Each structure stands twice: as C-alpha cells, then as structure tokens.
Amino acid sequence: MKKSSKSGRTRRPQPTKKVRSTSQSTSPKAPTPSTKNKARVPAWWNSLPVIFLGLMGLTWVAYFNSLNNPFHFDDYPFLVNNTDLLDLERHLRLLFSPFRTDRAVTVLTFYFNHAFGGFAVQGYHVVNIIIHGINSFLVFLLVRIIFQQTKPLENQSIQWVSLSVAALFVVHPLLTASVTYISQRSGLLATLFYLLASWLYLRGRVYLEQKQRKPLLIYGALILLCYVLAVKSKEMAITWLALPCLYELAIRLRDPKKMRTFLKIAPVAILVFGGMVYAFLDYANFFHNTTALTGFGSTKLIGATAHWKTMTTVMLQYWQLIVLPLPQWLTIDHQVVVRETLDAASVLAFLFHLGLVGGGLIMAKKGYPLVAVGIGWVYITMGPYLVVPSKDIFVEYKAYLPTIGWLIVLAELFFWIYSKSSRRKVFVGVLSGVLILGVIATHSRNAVYASEISLWQDTVDKNPNNFRALNNLGFAYSKAQNHPKAELYLRKAIELNPNFIFGRLNLARSISWQNRTEEALREYLLLIQGVPEKLKVENHPTLIDAHFESAQIFKEHRQYENALRHLDTLLEEYEVVHSAPQKHLLALVLKGQIYTEIGDLELAKNAYQQVVELYPDPDVLGEMGKIAIRQGNSLEAIDLFKRAATLQPNNPVHYNNWGIALARTGNPFAAEQSFRKALSLHPNYEEAKRNLALLQQGQL
C-alpha cells in the first residue's frame, strides 16, 4: 500500500514533466521566456535585410522632398565649377596616394554622378540619401555589437534599442545640413567608413583576445582600408584612431587587472595617434598662425588661442542642437561670440565639458559603458574643429558624425527603460511620436534648402539682427533681379554693422545693376575710404573688387583719370598678378580700353600686350589688331587677326577684321575670302556684307 500510494503520488503531480520543461528551457533548442514575445512577431521581421530596408524606407520618407533642391555654397567650387571633375585618371591617382588629404573618394562619387546624370541635381540628392540610410544601418550594427560585448546577458531588448537609436539618427533634423547640402557628401562618406571601421574593430577584437592570427590580419587589413577611405572622404576622420582606446577604457574601468594592462599601452597609443595626426594633416602652422578667419562671412581675425577659448562655449551650442534640435534653433548661420580673453563663460563651459567627460567615466565604472563611449565619441569626432582654427566656427554639418555619440548615450538609457516590460508600451509610444516629429522637422529643414532666398530668409526670420544673413539674403534677391528687396536687406545689414564692407560692396553692386551708377559709385568710395589701413590685407579681395568696379563706372562716365587711378591702385598696391590673376587680366584690358578711347594707342597696346603675354585672349588680339590698323601697320594687324581667328575659329568678327587688314595691303582676293568666311559663320553679319560690297566696288 505504501508503495502504491507513493507511486500514485508520483503520477498525479507529474513532477517529471515540470523538471523536463525546466531543463528544456536551458537548451538552445527550447523556447526561452522571450519566445512568447517572439511568437507574436515573425522571425524574418527581425532579420538584418528587413531592418536595413526599413531604415532605408524611413530615410526616403524623411528626405524625399529634398530631391529638387538646388546646389548651394561649396557645391559650386567643389562640384559644378570644378574643372577637374571629369578627370577620372587624376581622381584615381589621388585615391591611391594615401598621404594626401584631397577628399578623392568624395570627388570620385561626384564624377560618377556626373557621368550618369550630368548636373541634374536629383541624382546627387539620391546618392546622399542612400548613404545616409546606409549610415543609419551601420549605427544599428555598431550599437548592437557594443551591447552584445558589454551586457552580461543578451536579450531581445538589444535588437529593438539598437533599431530605435538608428531610426532617431535617420530623422534627426540637425543632420539635414549634411544630407541635403550636396557637397557635404564628404561628411556622409567619412561617417560611413568611420562606422564600418568601428564595427570591424569590435568584431575583430574577439580574435585579438583569442590570439587567432589569420582572422585578426584580415580584420586589420579591412579596418586599415576603411580608415584610409574615411580620411580620403574628409580629413576629420583621422580621429578614428582614438576610438579603440576610448572603447577599451570604458569597458575595462570595472576590472582593475584589465585596466592596468590598458594603462601600460595607452601612452604609446596616444603618442602614435598624435604623431600620425601631426604628420598627416601638417596642421602645425595653425598653432603659430595668428590670422585665422572666423565666422561665416566675418571680417574679424582671431588667432588659435582665441579660437580655443571661443570653442568652449560653441561646443555647448553644438550639444544643445545635438540633444534637442528644436526648429527655431536650426539655421544656416549661427552667431558666435569670439572670446579673445579667458572670461567667466569660457571657464564655466570648460568645466562643464570636463564634468561631462568625468561623469561618463563614472557611469562606465558603475556598469554603463555606453555613456562613456558616447560622450567620448562626441568630443573625439569634434576634435579637429575644436583644435584647428577655421573660417566657419559653428556650422551644423560638422555635427553629423558627433550626433552618433549622443545616440550611443541614449541607447544606454533606452536599454534600461526597455528591459522592463512594464515600461515598453510607454517607450514605444513616445518613440513613435518623436520619430513622427523628426520626419516633420526634417521635411521642414529640407524645404528651407529649396532656394538661396528661402535659406537666408529662414535665418533672418530666426535672428533679425544677423548682419551676415541680411547681407546674404539681400544678395540672393539681387541675383533674382528683385532689387528693391535686395537694397532693403543690404541697407539693414550695413545699419547693424557699418564696418561690414562686404555688405557695402553688395549694396553698391545692387544699385549699379539698377543703372544708378552715381549712387553705386558713392557706395564704392565709402567702402574704399572706410577700411582702416590695418584691415586692408584682410579685406584684400573685397577692396580689389571695389576698385575695379569703381573704375568701370568712372570709365562709363568718361572720367578716365579717376578710372586709371583706381586701376593703378589695384595693379600696384594689391599685386593682383599673384593674388587675383583673373582680376589682373581684366584690369589690364580695362586700361587698354580707356587708353584706346582717349587716343593713347601706345599705352593701350602696351596694356594689351601684357595680357596676351600671360593669356593669349583672341578678343584682346583683335583689339591690338585694330590699333595696328589705326597706326598704319597693316602687316602686324594681319598677323594679330590671324592669331585671333586661329584661337577662335567660329567668331566671324576676327575674319571680318582680317579681311579689312588684307584689303589695306592690296590683297583683294584674300580679303574677299575672309569676308566670305565671316558670312559663312554668320550670314546676317551686316558689317561683313558691307565690307564685301565695298571691296567689290573697289572702295576698300
């Protein structure tokens, strides 16, 4: 009885099934507690191809309204007006010159863009959008692998948290300054290879710990390739060398033994990094140079020390936009307070940065390494802009790569929130709302880039006292032939800053384009007279333009003496033959025209001769030929017109003039041939018709 009852007790509760269920839960083939959640979502939904397509789709949703936005700013010298753009051999040669900072990878992508679509702007935007989508997927991979290596237990939260921050990267409105601004593809490509090198390092460090040489060499070669491609896309990518040290520091802080090992090699790594930066970029001269420009369109000179003091507060503004990119804070031109002395604001800002870095290290020691990695990422990627003085201190496209650091910090917070099932619904709801707002804000920023006028109007609306923005808006209206509005904004810019000579130059031009030449001349003279002697070197290009354009107006008014005085100042005091060679040639041509009009043919001929010695311009040769005819030297005129026609064979004017010179030497047959050649190029060329008729009548 005892036995049977014991046996019965054993059968009724069936503990063996419970034990079997528990044991199966530890088997790789058995369902884990999270499989209940997985059952609601198909397995393919979490696959990498689906995640990639999802992020790419979100990218297109956020940026499809930017496809027709025109070229802006650096797009013209870097792309549209780049005479070397179609030189594939040159691009490949530069690509395989690893120790040159020439952005060869970026220019090569522009070459292929042009090969397939010319300068149709849509193709360039499509490529930028695709690169941004790929970068978002790499952000997902990077955050996921950091979690996998730093968290003791892998669970479903890692996938969704990594996807969440990648989606935020897609719709972050601050990043439109890089995605929509075509020439900033350099930053997009540098980020792509930067992220890929980071992911490869984290994958390969496993083999380093296991001391497996073959896969380690493969990963090392791939990392080196990505690093070179990143730097050849944009120079700031050289900072990637500091990231492995940052990562190793963050994950070893909790382990004293591993930390001691790290400290032994860290000084060597820092020295190697510093040496490579110094040798590669050759930026040492910046630290000794006290004439570094600052500010978009600014005329103020500051040195390296003032730049560093200024950047302590500017970095706070970057943090503000990275963390909370409110639409009213986003603009193409941010005003910067230049701090030439060590004031309280710069000291407090420096202490804030120091505290932020220290706080990140403390969080890493407490078991939250992503906080340290993210904060360090921001400062490392901003490093070149913080250290090297540059003209544009605060521009939004510089924050593209640093923004990823903030998202890595957020990933740590999201992981903590998402790991508790009770908070997941709220988290998903809030995140969905933020993503929708991000898409709306990104669309809004894309619309701002729709034209030069809308771009600067947005800046002026947000900061009506920004004299640089007012100047640029006025000049945009001038180019659009809306001169009343142009003059309105340009005068406002000068009222806010009477010493802003570039604004006065644009005002003079706008007035001149309306044929109010006397008023324009007054503005030019105010500009020239108002520049202090010590600032003439800094404002060199503006003054050259002012002198040249003043000379043009004086010539129109037949005030030749004043015109020549301005041209002599331009040619002698500013040495434009070296600093502005094109303006040098134009000034000599203008002198030749003035001397021709006043009848001093020898001086006119001398001015033109200086031009053709530097550049054999066919029109200038034609003018010299006319002077030779007036001087009675028909043989010289024949030679000059022949040279002009050879250089410009489709211009009927040269053949007509050549015919006149030939007729003067008693060669009517050759003269007739020249006139007929001119008429074959331009059948309705009345002067050639008249000369041919006079020749046939024996009157020429």
- Name beta bridge partners: 293: 301
By the 8 A CB rule, do 231 and 187 touch? no
pLDDT at residue number 24: 38
pLDDT at residue number 538: 53
Task: Identify whether residues 647 and 659 lie together within a single domain.
Answer: yes
pLDDT classification of 287: cutoffs 50, 70, 90: very low
Calculate mean pLDDT across residues 438-451.
96
CATH number at residue 691: 1.25.40.10
Residue with tokens 């202090």: 532
Task: Identify whether residues 596 and 695 lie together within a single domain.
Answer: no
Q: What is the CA radius of gyration of the chain?
A: 34
> What does the block give as tokens for 688?
């050639």
pLDDT classification of 176: cutoffs 50, 70, 90: very high
pLDDT at residue number 472: 92
Q: Is the pTM of this model over 0.85?
A: no
Q: Does residue 496 register a pLDDT over 50?
A: yes
By the 8 A CB rule, do 345 and 318 touch? no
> What does the block give as tokens for 551?
């000379």
Concatenated DSSP letters of 311-334:
HHHHHHHHHHHHH---GGG--S--
* Residue 302 phi, psi dihedral angles, 5° rounding: -135, 155
70-84, 210-224, 433-447, 518-532: which has the highest mean pLDDT?
433-447
Residue with tokens 């540098």: 190
Give the residue from 492, 555, 471, 561 showing the smallest Cα distance to 521: 555
The domain boundary residue, chosen from 431, 447, 463: 447
Residue with tokens 């870095």: 357
pLDDT at residue number 11: 45
Weakest mean pLDDT among 63-67, 159-163, 188-192: 159-163
Task: State how far the Cα of 375 lies from the Cα of 431, in Å rounded to an integer.
Answer: 22
Q: Does residue 631 register a pLDDT over 60?
A: yes
pLDDT at residue number 22: 37
Calculate mean pLDDT across residues 440-469.
94
Weakest mean pLDDT among 170-174, 227-231, 387-391, 555-559: 387-391
Calculate mean pLDDT across residues 530-541.
64
pLDDT at residue number 343: 85
Q: Does residue 317 register a pLDDT over 90?
A: yes
Question: Where would I find the H helices in 183-303?
Answer: 185-210, 213-231, 243-252, 256-281, 284-288
- Name beta bridge partners: 292: 302
Residue 30 lies in a domain: no
Residue 561 lies in a domain: yes
pLDDT at residue number 5: 43
* Total Cβ atoms within 10 A of residue 497: 17
> What does the block give as tokens for 541?
């290009």
Residue 3 lies in a domain: no
Calculate mean pLDDT across residues 413-428.
84
Question: Which residue range is the domain that position 508 belongs to?
Answer: 453-631
Q: Does residue 696 register a pLDDT over 70?
A: yes
Task: Identify whether residues 206 and 326 lie together within a single domain.
Answer: yes
Task: Identify whether residues 169 and 95 lie together within a single domain.
Answer: yes
- Name beta bridge partners: 301: 293
By the 8 A CB rule, do 325 and 173 touch? yes
CA angle 171, 177, 183 (to 5 degrees): 125
Task: Identify whether residues 208 and 332 lie together within a single domain.
Answer: yes
* Residue 293 phi, psi dihedral angles, 5° rounding: -75, 150
Task: State how far the Cα of 694 lies from the Cα of 691, in Å rounded to an integer.
Answer: 5
Weakest mean pLDDT among 242-251, 398-407, 427-436: 242-251
Task: Identify whether residues 609 and 673 lie together within a single domain.
Answer: no
By the 8 A CB rule, do 401 and 194 touch? yes
Residue 384 lies in a domain: yes
Give the residue from 79, 128, 76 showing the smallest Cα distance to 107: 79
Task: Identify whether residues 287 and 246 lie together within a single domain.
Answer: yes
Calculate mean pLDDT across residues 33-48.
56
Residue 666 lies in a domain: yes
pLDDT at residue number 16: 44
The domain boundary residue, chosen from 631, 647, 682: 631
pLDDT at residue number 551: 93
Calculate mean pLDDT across residues 622-650.
93
Determine the residue type at 561. Answer: E
pLDDT at residue number 653: 94
pLDDT at residue number 303: 67
Task: State how far the Cα of 240 lies from the Cα of 515, in Å rounded to an integer.
Answer: 55
Residue with tokens 């004299």: 467
pLDDT at residue number 38: 41
Provide the number of structural domains found in the chain: 3
345-403 pLDDT tens trace: 899 999 999 999 999 999 999 989 999 999 999 999 998 888 877 777 899 999 999 99
pLDDT classification of 27: cutoffs 50, 70, 90: very low
Task: Identify whether residues 546 and 626 lie together within a single domain.
Answer: yes
> What does the block give as tokens for 607?
């001015």
Q: Does residue 8 register a pLDDT over 70?
A: no
> What does the block give as tokens for 162?
């990594």
Calculate mean pLDDT across residues 247-263.
76
The domain boundary residue, chosen from 417, 447, 477: 447
pLDDT at residue number 584: 86
Task: Identify whether residues 600 and 699 lie together within a single domain.
Answer: no
pLDDT at residue number 296: 38
First to last CA, the chain: 146
Question: Sign of the C-alpha dihedral, residues 40, 45, 48, 53?
Answer: negative
> What does the block give as tokens for 485?
């509005």
pLDDT at residue number 288: 36
Q: Does residue 209 register a pLDDT over 90?
A: no
Determine the residue type at 670. Answer: A
CA angle 174, 241, 245 (to 5 degrees): 100
Indicate the average pLDDT of the chain.
84
Task: Identify whether residues 219 and 191 lie together within a single domain.
Answer: yes
State the greatest distance between any 2 C-alpha atoms of the chain, in Å, as a whole number: 149
Task: Identify whether residues 467 and 439 lie together within a single domain.
Answer: no
Residue 33 lies in a domain: no
553-592 pLDDT tens trace: 999 999 999 999 999 988 887 777 677 788 889 999 999 9
Task: State how far the Cα of 562 lies from the Cα of 559, in Å rounded to an integer.
Answer: 6
* Total Cβ atoms within 10 A of residue 610: 18
- Between 110 and 83, residue with greater pLDDT: 110
Calculate mean pLDDT across residues 329-335.
91
Residue 27 lies in a domain: no
Task: Identify whether residues 391 and 500 lie together within a single domain.
Answer: no
What percentage of residues in the chain have a pLDDT greater than 90?
Answer: 55
Q: Does residue 23 register a pLDDT over 60?
A: no
pLDDT classification of 10: cutoffs 50, 70, 90: very low
